[in-house]
Amino acid sequence: MMQYSRFDFGFFGVEKSVSSLADFLQFVDTEFEFSSVANLLPVCVKDILAGLDYLHNHNIAHRDLKPGNILVCNQHLDDVAGDDKAMAKAYEECPIVCQLTDFGLSRSVDIQTKSVVMSKTTSVSCGTPAYMAPEMQLNQLVFASHEDLKRADMWSLGLVMHTMINPDLGSPYRAELEQSSAPDIHMALKDLLTKHRLPQHGAKYEQLRITSW
């Protein structure tokens, strides 16, 4: 039976629950005090890294890592509901659990050769553009080895982390894309990557970045 994963803000006295990291970040940025849950971000990163490590050790590349494909959950706290002391202890030990999901684009060496040999557009360059590695976005790899795909996952992880500390931006390169005069967002993004530009930070959480983080 499939279990529904959710993060319930009832622990903070707020009637709201979300299921993905994307929804979590949007809510804490727009309707909650982000600084009060900023300490959860390192836990999220640790869980995401553990998930990627598991996949990569089993020769699987995710290929579409982004906040929308990361589940968030704190349902384990339900086990100690009503016991404030036990609840506080459980929250301190494990305030949030993150799990990777949506493996529709994943590739494993068990079901393919060591190189992806189809066309650039249908095999190598797939994923969500804002989180794709430059070599994938720019179609620089005609034949991508499984190690190439794993490295692309790590680039995506870096951009997920960027989004986590800039939840107001929604996605990497958003500020730059809004300032771009290019007629097409994809063209603008490719131009930024061609120039080896890294995504800018937003100003909203600068104080957190230079102090707590």
In 110-128, which positions are buried (b, 16+ CB within 10 angstroms) versus exposed (e)? eeeeeebeeebeebbbbbb
Q: Based on the residue annotation, tell me whether 168 is a catalytic residue of this protein.
A: no
Q: How far apart are CA 192 and CA 213, in angstroms?
A: 27
Catalytic residue chosen out of the listed positions 23, 47, 64, 191: 64
19 to 8, 28, 127, 177: CA distances (angstroms):
9, 13, 21, 28
Closest CA to 173 of 154, 184, 159: 159
Which residues does the annotation mark as catalytic?
A: 64
